[in-house]
Amino acid sequence: MTKPAAGAQAEEDVQVLVERPYSHEGPHHPRRPPQQLIIRARRPYYRRWSPWIVSAATVACVALFLVTMYVNDCPRHNTNCAVGFLGRFAFQPLRENPLLGPSSATLVKMGALDVSKVVHGRQGWRLLTCMWLHAGVVHLLINMLCLLFIGIRLEQEFGFVRIGAVYLISGFGGSLMSALFIRSSVSVGASGALFGLVGSMLSELITNWSLYANKVAALVSLVAVIAVNLALGVLPRVDNFAHIGGLLSGFLLGFVFFIRPQFAWLNNQNQRRVAAGAPAAEARRRKHKTYQYVLWVAAAALLVAGFTAAAVLLFRGYDANKHCSWCHYLSCVPTRRWKCDSSPTICTATQQEGTLSLLCEGSGRNRTYAIAGASQDRINDLCNQLCT
């Protein structure tokens, strides 16, 4: 829809190519080619930004994963680490973490979302730090490839400030919804923030509807992508509530951050004067259409109200599952191939004479380990491995 202006004026403005089809005067009139208008639009409304915030976020996530694996130090606590030749960066046993990553205890130590620590320990900062951590190499690669594919295109169109705000706020919104519904497991990942970017693309298309060509095809494509990804979220070990929370947050944020002026207003701005006899206020009103203002106000109000209510309920220890008996199906649907048991992994530990005996209270499994003086973190890792 837009292209940079050539030559020296590329630093000042861009050319917006608008195609307006002729209306039919009767059934016997042949269709004529669309009229093409070129409007010179001054920055920052239409420009090609140089993306860097998305690349920086990707590097930060990869760096934090390496730090997490260094802290995890699997060979120090296990004898059957996956890819053991990596030394200190070896992965937890595949039975414990099939995503090739650290233990749950290490993730909690690094800032993962643990609802009990957020509510009872008042560690609200985990709602933000968890989006920078990943459960394994597979998890990291999927999220980072999606971030680069979606985020760079958006940052080129809207700049690093707006994309950075959407990314962070959507990730926070995903963490809030996850904490309200998933109380017994640790949650990490940038999926909520990524779904926020996708949701913002949808609302940007809606709020700037009159500016787009092939808008219906774009809308159908976006809805299809969202539906497929949400459907994949009903698989076990996937936090679909973070996806839904991030998607809703990003959808509302798109109406706030991605509103664009109308071409008629841009044309008047380029001419630097209003048509003879028209008041200046009329030109200002043409900058945005009425429905754009309505969507902006409604989305901003819903964002403030929703985030405030969710934060208050979370820190009061509210468990949303008690008031919505079917909501857990949004995150996992049980089938013959898998179960959706989200009960906490609790074990009874007994240490004596250089051995550690664990009994998983959920499944009744028990096992004895030749470990002397095991720390609580080590016991938690073994309990998680035994119960899962």
Instruction: Give the angle subtended at the CA of 175 by the CAs of 169 and 178, to the nearest 5°.
Output: 145
Instruction: Give the angle subtended at the CA of 342 by the CAs of 246 and 337, to the nearest 5°.
Output: 95
Check 243, 288, 328, 331 and give the catalytic one.
243
d(CA 117, CA 124): 8
243 labelled catalytic: yes
- Helix %, strand %, coil % for the chain, to 5? 55, 10, 35
Check 178, 187, 191, 200 and give the catalytic one.
191
Name the pairing type of β-strands 347-352 and 35-42. Answer: unpaired
d(CA 330, CA 334): 11
d(CA 272, CA 128): 45
- CA distance readout (Å), 244 to 201, 247, 309: 15, 5, 17
191 labelled catalytic: yes
Neighbours of 7 (CB within 10 A): 7
d(CA 103, CA 171): 22
d(CA 340, CA 333): 7
Q: Say if CB 143 and CB 218 are below 8 A apart.
A: no
Question: Where do we find the tokens 């639009």?
Answer: 41
Residue (of 295, 334, 138, 110) closest to 202 by Cα position: 295
What residues are labeled active site?
Answer: 191, 243
